[in-house]
Amino acid sequence: MSQVAPRRVPARADAWRPQDEVLNGLIHKCIEQAYRRNAETGSMAAFFGGVIVLIILGVIMSTGTGNPLLAIVVVVLLAGSGLMYAGMNAPAPKVDPIRILDVLGGPGNLPAGYLVYPAAWRAGMPEFLNKVSDRQVAVAARLCREHPGSVADLIRLVATAEQHAHEHAYGRSVTEGDIYRYAHRATVEWARLAPAPMMAAH
């Protein structure tokens, strides 16, 4: 059974990407901290678990052999071997991507332009868009630069535009262009009424 290829970062025809250095830096920092925190948590859990096992083993050996010194030597040797094995075979830390940007409200709370920002796609964006169709993502990517709301706002708008296009198709097939036209009109009006986004100048 073939696996579905992971969705790639959508690209705009003008190759635009958001240039808000502060927010970009925060996203990268969140990614870095998430992996570091996960690695530290896993390492400490394994370390303390190993220490408890070795202490129990040492007590059993000391009681059984009547030789505490021998028990200590064996425990030290096992501890050294265990640490070496753990260091060489430790699995890559697993991070829940959708939680990486929790401090920023999650990937859906990012400004709409971050739909096309690669780092956001390493911080939960694919998971956030898991139930969104490729066509909706493509339309959203075309609109994300001018849309004044969040990624979640933009996706909802595109989904509504697609539904509206179907309702007025009158038997025709709905195309990406149809959805874009409806969504673009709404975006222009929204942008006219809403405050200009900070990254619009970039």
pLDDT tens digits for range 133-160:
999 999 999 999 999 999 999 999 999 9
State whether 152 and 172 are in the same domain: yes
State whether 106 and 175 are in the same domain: yes
In a domain, 75, yes or no: yes
State whether 185 and 112 are in the same domain: yes
For range 84-107, the mean pLDDT: 75
pTM value is 0.70
For range 112-124, the mean pLDDT: 97
- Cβ density class 28-55: b for 16+ within 10 Å, e for less: eebbeebbeebeeeeeeeeeeeeeeebe
The range of the structural domain enclosing residue 148 comes to 100-195
Look-up of token digits 């993502």 = 137
What is the tally of structural domains in the chain?
A: 2
State whether 37 and 81 are in the same domain: yes
* Cβ–Cβ under 8 Å, residues 57 and 81: no
In a domain, 10, yes or no: no
Structure tokens that stand for 112 in this block = 């709409």
